[in-house]
Copies of this chain bind each other. A is one copy, B any other.
Amino acid sequence: MKLRSLLMTLALTGMASVATAVEWQTLPNKAPEPADNPTTPEKVALGQMLYHDPRLSSTGTVSCASCHNTMLGGDDNRMVSVGVNAQTGGRSAPTVWNAAFNAVQFWDGRAASLEEQAAGPVTNPIEMGMKNWDDVVARLKTIKGYQEAFEKAFGPNSLNKDNATKAIAAYERTLITPNSPYDRYVKGDEAALTEQQVRGMKLFAEVGCAGCHSGPAFNGTGGFVKFPMIKNGYFEAQYQFSKDKGRAEVTKKAEDENTWKVPTLRNIALTAPYFHNGSVKTLDKAVKVMGKLQLGRELTDEQVSDLVAFLNALTGEFPQQTMPHLPGTPGVTLNP
């Protein structure tokens, strides 16, 4: 595959200059698993239930899936999400699809794993609003079906925060969208991409997009990148990208100001609006903004159009999922 990819690169770029020699990688069918949380069908089944259960929120109305919708492109297509009691935050929900291929989680990379990430929103007061994980665990323990599902996945007396987040992470590791037109093309199916998409693919390498958006998920190698790289008063006035300090909000270091995790471009066409604050409504505009602010290029309308065509080729196949049946609490409710 590696050799084939390289050959594809050479074929695509014509002259294989160092600047444009991109190694085109296909999306694996399986996500890497941490040593202490190997994926099992029992964990995935439990994780899928927890992920879709609104009873993990204080009001009983918000589940992980509310903002990271597994029936859609893995987010909610909103500028910012709506948590309990109609509260909104400052950052746009990233997609859960292929999140297993992110080196770190959250826009600012403050979680090192899917497990760590999963613990966050549940007790965030403006997201799912549970007071603390003790309350979450106490609530889950009153649901017999969950006691059983935890036992199946982790053994007796295993219903606790760690295992809940492990199960959710195990489920998320199954949320992979392989076989996009791009993947099929890289594997040798030349008809998988249109001519325009192939032009966009070349351009993606040539203008420098692939400098950050590299690897099988087009989400880089795990480092943080400044955005905007180039100051631009016109765009700043419109989109206020710099207002949120990004990673510096976590590290409190000046050098981390306005740096961010490189988001995946897999299924990017399905996750409008764009950027950390969801301020840009369309993919066309997002590409234009990226050209200007990250690469210092004034992309032509035709170039934008070619790049967007290529990005559409990164929309993969969504695995068929069985809808979970959430265990009930006969005769009582846990909600207000």
Q: Which of B61, B272, B318 contacts A78 (CB 8 A)?
A: B61
Pairwise interchain contact B323-A70, C-beta atoms closer than 8 A:
yes
Pairwise interchain contact A78-B66, C-beta atoms closer than 8 A:
no
Residue ID in chain B nearest A270 by CB atoms = B328
Pairwise interchain contact A322-B320, C-beta atoms closer than 8 A:
yes
Pairwise interchain contact A282-B331, C-beta atoms closer than 8 A:
yes
Pairwise interchain contact B315-A330, C-beta atoms closer than 8 A:
yes
Pairwise interchain contact A336-B270, C-beta atoms closer than 8 A:
no
Q: What are 11 sample pairs from A and B whose C-beta atoms fall under 8 A apart?
A: A54-B69, A55-B77, A61-B66, A71-B325, A71-B326, A73-B328, A77-B335, A78-B333, A281-B333, A282-B331, A321-B323
Q: Does A15 contact B (CB under 8 A)?
A: no
Pairwise interchain contact A331-B72, C-beta atoms closer than 8 A:
no
Pairwise interchain contact A72-B333, C-beta atoms closer than 8 A:
no
Task: Give the top 6 A-B pairs by smallest Cβ distance, nearest first.
Answer: A86-B86, A283-B331, A269-B330, A272-B333, A77-B333, A270-B328
A50: min CB distance to chain B, Å: 12
Interface residues on A, range: 35 or more
A58-114, CB < 8 A from B:
59-61, 66, 69-73, 76-79, 82, 85-86
Q: Give complex CA distance A332, B273 in Å.
A: 7
* B contact residues around A333 at 8 Å (CB): 77-78, 272-273, 281
Pairwise interchain contact B73-A61, C-beta atoms closer than 8 A:
no
* B contact residues around A281 at 8 Å (CB): 332-333
Count chain B CB atoms within 10 A of each CB in A79, A282, A325 and give the residue with the most: A325
Taken residue by residue from 114 to 153, chain A's Cβ proximity to chain B (1 for < 8 Å, 0 otherwise) reads as: 0000000000000000000000000000000000000000
State the copy count for this chain. 2
Taken residue by residue from 41 to 64, chain A's Cβ proximity to chain B (1 for < 8 Å, 0 otherwise) reads as: 000000000001111000111000
Q: Give complex CA distance A283, B335 in Å.
A: 15
* B contact residues around A70 at 8 Å (CB): 323
A242-275, CB < 8 A from B:
269-270, 272-273
Given A308-B331, A323-B323, A330-B315, check contact A76 B60 (CB 8 Å): yes
Q: Which residues of A contact B (CB under 8 A)?
A: 52-55, 59-61, 66, 69-73, 76-79, 82, 85-86, 269-270, 272-273, 281-284, 308, 312, 315, 318, 320-326, 328-336
* B contact residues around A315 at 8 Å (CB): 328, 330
Residue ID in chain B nearest A269 by CB atoms = B330
* B contact residues around A283 at 8 Å (CB): 330-332
Q: Which of B282, B321, B324, B336 contacts A332 (CB 8 A)?
A: B282
Pairwise interchain contact B60-A78, C-beta atoms closer than 8 A:
yes
Q: Known contacts A320-B325, A321-B322, A322-B322; can you find 16 more A-B pairs with CB under 8 A?
A: A54-B69, A59-B78, A60-B77, A60-B78, A61-B66, A69-B326, A71-B326, A77-B334, A77-B335, A79-B336, A86-B86, A269-B328, A272-B329, A272-B331, A281-B333, A308-B331
Q: Which of B82, B321, B326 contacts A59 (CB 8 A)?
A: B82
Q: Give complex CA distance A269, B144 in Å.
A: 14
Q: Give complex CA distance A323, B76 in Å.
A: 16
Given A60-B76, A272-B331, A308-B331, check contact A323 B322 (CB 8 Å): yes
